[in-house]
Chains A and B, each alone.
Chain A
C-alpha cells in the first residue's frame, strides 16, 4: 500500500451529503445576491 493510493482507502462522500451540496449550490446560484 502506498500513501499516494490513500484516496481510494478513504471513506467516500455519502450520497446524502452529495445531494445536500447540489441542492445548496443550486439554491445559492439562483437566489444569492452575489453577481
Chain B
C-alpha cells in the first residue's frame, strides 16, 4: 500500500476511528490525541502491513493500542465507570442514554459491543483485533447485551 492509499483509507475510516476511541476514552481531547498518534504510527509503520485487505483492521488495532496507552498514562485502566470527567464541558455534554449505558460497561465489553454493532466486525475479526478467543468475545457480547437490556428496558437485542 502506498502512503496516498493509506491517507485515503484514514479519511474514509475517520468516523470509525473516532467511535472506537470514544468507546474507550471519555474526553474528546484524549480521543483526538489517540487518533493523531495512531495516524502518525500508521504512516511510520506502513511497512508492517502485510496485506492491503487487512489495512482497516490494522488501523483500528493501532487506534485501540493508542487508547490503551492514554488510559495507562492517565491511570484510567480502571474502567470508565470509575472515571470522573476532568473537563466540565465534557461532563456537561448531553449524551444519549445508550452511549451512557455502554460507557458504564467494562472496557472489554464496550469495545466488543462497539466493534460488533457499530462497525460490523465479525466475532472472529473482533477476537483478532482484541487478541483474544472467539468464545471470549461471544461471552463479552452476551454479558454486555444482558446488562444493557437490564439498563435500557426498551432495547431489543
List residues of A whose CB falls within 8 A of some B CB. 1-4, 6-7, 9-14, 16-18, 20-22, 24-26, 28-29, 32, 34-35
5 closest residue pairs by CB, A with B: A13-B18, A9-B98, A9-B96, A29-B7, A25-B7
Chain B residues in the interface with A (C-beta under 8 A): 2-4, 6-7, 10-11, 14-15, 17-19, 22, 28, 31-32, 35-36, 39-40, 43-44, 46-47, 93, 95-96, 98-99, 102, 113-114, 117-118, 145, 148, 152, 154-157
15 sampled A-B residue pairs with Cβ under 8 A:
A1-B152, A1-B156, A4-B117, A6-B98, A6-B102, A10-B99, A11-B93, A13-B14, A14-B28, A20-B36, A21-B39, A28-B3, A32-B44, A34-B43, A35-B3
Q: How far is the CA of A2 from the CA of B93 in the complex (A)?
A: 23
Contacts A10-B99, A10-B114, A20-B32 aside, 14 further interface pairs with beta carbons under 8 A come to: A3-B157, A6-B113, A6-B117, A7-B19, A7-B118, A10-B118, A12-B15, A17-B32, A21-B36, A24-B39, A28-B7, A28-B43, A32-B43, A34-B47
Name the residue on B nearest A26 (C-beta): B7
B14 contacts which chain A residues (CB < 8 A)? 13, 18, 21
Instruction: Return the contact of A34 from the options B3, B28, B93 (Cβ within 8 A).
Output: B3
- Give the chain A neighbours of B114 by CB distance below 8 A: 6, 10
A-chain residues with CB within 8 Å of residue B46 when the two chains form the complex: 34
User: With a CB–CB cut-off of 8 A, which chain A residues contact B155?
Assistant: 1-3
